Amino acid sequence: MLKSVVAGVVAGCLGAGAVSLAHAQAGSVPDDISQEELIAKAKEEGRLTWYVSVPTPGSQAAAEAFMELYPEIQVDIQRLGGFGLWERLSSEFAANVHNVDVYSQADFGVRNDAAERGIIAPYIPPNARDYDPQFLDPDGFGFATRIVPSAIAYNTDLVSEEDAPKTWNDLLDPMWAGQKIGISDPRASGFTYAAFWKMTKSPAIGEEYFEKLKEQDPLVYEDSGQQINSLVSGEIPIVVLLDYRPWEFMEAGAPVKVVYPEEGVGWGMDYTHLAAQAPHPYAARLFMDFYASEEGTRAVAENLRTYVAMPGIGTYPEGYGRPALEELNLLPGDLQEQTADYDRFTEWFASIFD
């Protein structure tokens, strides 16, 4: 989450192109439209554009499943990293260019800016209304699909089952001192920031935990790919990282195990929004309905090996003992407070680990 940079982009784009939330309209779709009429109108539109930061295997699988169900509707995927995607959308909106119908990203600060400027409109698909409330936008601006916790992973060739950490405090054991732990950098990942921030707010963990962890002289990784590769190759025995990474490698036969500490795990999520000025509002709503459904979320879970917000979806990879999302102790945290605290938190983190 590059909130400081994003704020600068937003400030620079405010002006003639900005509209107030009160006047934002997501097309002219009536709230009481029947499913049959929604489908018919969406087929008449024939296409939609999806701006998405979800990695290609998941977003492509979801789009293809939707197009198989509705072959009359083409999904145009525009995928970029989170900040690049927001910069593009923000600049287009400021220029009164409206290409996007559905917008998926993983930064609640971006969500705030988009909502305040009228770039996104309130809409919760019927399929998402049974989600756990913490996975829905508190003001109705969409829903989450991916739920991504931070966890501990260790190399089983280097760490015995007996010595393997079971709790966060186990990482403070002197045996793991001297660059034997690799941690993710919250300044490089919105998911990691959300996870670590929640951990610092937990009475069982707190900011003092990270200050103690610093005494172990851990390595800090900006790139999660490099981090998991260092674990698998044996360069480092233990990492703290976004949990889907090690499951991908474990399925491929890597000597890796994952631990979700009993004190609780921090986590982040993504958000899918309806564009307020969607050029294809019927197709946009129909796609969001599908993306929030069992079939849509399963496509993401299967192809990205992540947890999803839709209840009842199994864990992937299957057969490897991965616990269900409901079995994890997900730490709580207020989204607005989390967003507002970004600059202070990242400066504090830098003061410890840089």
DSSP string, 248-317: HHHHTT-SEEEE--TT-B-EEE-EEEEETT-SSHHHHHHHHHHHTSHHHHHHHHHHH--EESSTTPPPSS
- Report the C-alpha gap between 335 and 144 in whole angstroms: 13
At 10 the pLDDT is: 31
Tokens of 131: 């989600």
Q: Could you tell me which residues come within 8 angstroms of residue 162 by beta carbon, excluding any fewer than 6 positions away? A: none
Is 117 in a helix, a strand, or coil? coil
- Report the C-alpha gap between 219 and 77 in whole angstroms: 36
Residue spans per domain, the chain: 3-144+270-322, 147-267+330-353
At 138 the pLDDT is: 94
Please say whether the dihedral angle defined by the alpha carbons of residues 124, 276, 274 and 281, taken in this order, is positive or negative. positive
At 15 the pLDDT is: 31
- Report the C-alpha gap between 172 and 261 in whole angstroms: 13
Please say whether the dihedral angle defined by the alpha carbons of residues 249, 252, 254 and 258, taken in this order, is positive or negative. positive
Answer yes or no: same fold for 3-144+270-322 and 147-267+330-353.
yes
Say if residue 317 is preceded by a cis peptide, omega within 30 of 0.
yes
At 82 the pLDDT is: 85
At 28 the pLDDT is: 75
At 27 the pLDDT is: 56
Which candidate, 106, 294, 112, 253, places its Cα nearest to that of 193? 106
Q: Which CATH class is domain 3-144+270-322?
A: alpha beta
CATH 3.40.440.10 corresponds to the domain 147-267+330-353:
no
Residues of the chain with pLDDT under 70: 1-27
Enter the pTM of the model: 0.88
- Report the C-alpha gap between 290 and 306 in whole angstroms: 18
